[in-house]
Amino acid sequence: MFLQQIGIGGDLIDFLISAVDRIFTIVNMSGIQILMFIAALQSIPKHLYEAARVEGATAYEMFWKITFPMVSPIIMTAIVFTIVNSFATSDIMNFMTVNSQGTTMATNNPGLYSAISIIYFLANALIIAVAFFLMRKVVFYHDK
DSSP 112-129: HHHHHHHHHHHHHHHHHH
107 confidence band (pLDDT: 50, 70, 90): low
Residue 64 CA to its chain's centroid (Å): 20
pTM across the whole model: 0.70
Which whole number is the average pLDDT over 79-102? 76
Specify the range with the lowest mean pLDDT, choosing from 92-96, 106-110, 119-123.
106-110
Under 8 Å between Cβ of 87 and 120: yes
